[in-house]
Amino acid sequence: SHFPSTTLSKMLTGKIVSENPFIENLFHGVSGSCAPKDFETLMQLVYLQVVEPRFVEDEIAPAFAQLNAIVPNLAKQPNFIFSEAYLKTAYGNNPRRQLISMDMVEKMSVASLENSYKTLFSNMAGTTVYITGNVDLETIKPLVEKYIGSLPTTGKPTEYIDHNLEVVPGKVKNIFNAPMTTPKSSVLLVYSGDVEYNHENVIAMQAFRYTLDLIYTETIREEEGATYGVGTQGNVSAVPQQKGGMIIQFDTDPARVEEMIVLAIQGVEQIAENGPTEEQMVKIRENFLKNISESRISNSYWASNLRNYDLTGVDLDTEREAIINSLTSEKVKNFVADFIGQGNFVKVVMNPEE
C-alpha cells in the first residue's frame, strides 16, 4: 500500500510474479502465479492485497475519467445494445445481471470502492488455499503459515447467498430493431434447465456442444454461407443450484435470419432425436482424449479441478478417459432430449432499423 503500481513494478524487476484480487457472483479471493524462486514474493503480495490494499484518489481518477468517456459511446454500439437486451430478457431484468451504465459510473467513488473491498476482505475466516505447480512442500509450508496464516479473521466464515441468477424458466423471446451502420441480424438462443452435477453429465454437455459445432460448421457456415461462424457455449454448474445451459449465438444477413434460426434449432433437435452420428462420435472421443493430455500439464487445469472438487465433491479428472471411452451416441441423445425437454428456451434477435 505504500507504493504506486509504477514503483512496485520497478521493485519487482527480475521477478516472475503476478497476483490479482477477484470478485465473482459467489466467491472472492486472490489469485496469482510465480516462478518457484519467487514464491515468498507472491505470498507477500497476496498478504498486502488483503491487509493493505491501495486506494489513492489521484491514481484511480484516470480510470474514472476513461469510463466517463467510453461508456456513453459504448451504450450506442449495436453489440452492447444486443448484450444488454439478452441479459434483460434471459434474466428477467435482474439488477445483478446488467452491463455497465452511466448511472453506475456516476455512483462510483474511490471511497465506495474501498469500503466495498474492505468489507469483503476484512474477514478471511474459512479461506481455502489452492497451490499447484513445481513447489517443494517443506519449503513453502512456513511461508504459507507466515503470510496466509496471519490474514485477518474477525468472525465466522462468510457464506455465499443464492440471489437466483439463473435464466428465467419457460419460453421467452425478444425481437427488436436497433440503429447500426452495417446492417446485420444478431441471434442468441439459450436452452436451460435442471441438470444433476456429475462427471458423466459434464462430459455429455461438452459432447452436445461439440456436436453442435460440427453440425453448424457444415450447415450454416459451409453449405449456406450465412455466417462466419456460430458460437456455442455449454455448461453444467453445481452451485448455487445444479443447472445446465447451452448458448448459441451468430450474426447473419437480415434477409436470412429466420431461415438460419430454424437451422440452428434443427441442429439441437437432430441430436435430441438421433444423437451424434458415429463419425461425429469418433471426432468427439479423439478431441476429448487429446485435450486431457494437453490440459494435465497446466497448473490452471489442476487448480480448477482442485477448487471444483472442494466445492462440489465431484472429481473431474480421475475417471475422465473411462467416461469418454464409454460415451455413446445414445447417452448423448438421452441427455440432450431430457435437457431440452424441460421446455426452457430464450430467443433474442436484433435486426437493423429500416
Nearest to 327 by CA among 270, 288, 298: 288
For domain 1-163, give the CATH superfamily: Metalloenzyme, LuxS/M16 peptidase-like (3.30.830.10)
End-to-end CA distance of the chain: 55
Nearest to 327 by CA among 289, 291, 293, 281: 281
pLDDT, tens digit (0-9, with 9 covering 90-100), for 301-322: 999 999 999 999 999 999 999 9
- What is the pLDDT, as a whole number, of residue 143? 98
Nearest in space to 193 (alpha carbons), one of 229, 158, 235, 159 = 235
Q: What is the pLDDT of residue 231?
A: 98
Of residues 205, 225, 198, the one with CA closest to residue 316: 198
Contact indicator for 195, 201 with CB cutoff of 8 Å:
yes
Handedness of CA 196, 202, 203, 206 (dihedral sign): positive
Question: Whose grid coordinates read 423471446?
Answer: 173
Q: CB of 348 within 8 A of CB of 172?
A: no
Domains 1-163 and 171-352 share a fold: yes
Q: Whole-model pTM?
A: 0.93
Residue 49's CB is within 10 A of a number of other CB atoms, namely: 19
* The pLDDT of residue 354: 83
Tens place of pLDDT per residue across the chain (354 aa): 678 888 999 999 999 999 999 999 999 999 999 999 999 999 999 999 999 999 999 999 999 999 999 999 999 999 999 999 999 999 999 999 999 999 999 999 999 999 999 999 999 999 999 999 999 999 999 999 999 999 999 888 988 899 999 999 999 999 999 999 999 999 999 999 999 999 999 999 999 999 999 999 999 999 999 999 999 999 999 999 999 999 999 999 999 999 999 999 999 999 999 999 999 999 999 999 999 999 999 999 999 999 999 999 999 999 999 999 999 999 999 999 999 999 999 999 999 998
- CB proximity list for 193: less than 8 A, separation 6 or greater: 243, 244, 339, 340, 342, 344
Q: Domain 171-352 classified CATH 3.40.50.300? A: no
CA distance 352 to 181: 9
In this prediction, residue 5 carries a pLDDT of 87
DSSP class of residue 254 equals: G
| Per-residue confidence (pLDDT) for residue 311, from 0 to 100 | 94
Residue 254 has which C-alpha cell?
437480415
- pLDDT (tens digit per residue) in 111-123: 999 999 999 999 9
Q: What is the pLDDT of residue 1?
A: 64
Q: How far is CA 36 from CA 16, 32, 174, 213, in A?
A: 9, 12, 52, 40
Residue 280 pLDDT: 99
Contact present, 320 and 256 (Cβ < 8 Å)? no
- Domain residue limits, the chain: 1-163, 171-352
Helix extents (H) in the chain:
5-11, 39-51, 57-74, 78-90, 102-107, 110-121, 137-143, 199-216, 257-274, 278-295, 299-312, 320-325, 329-340
Q: What is the pLDDT of residue 183?
A: 97
Residue 146 one-letter amino acid: K
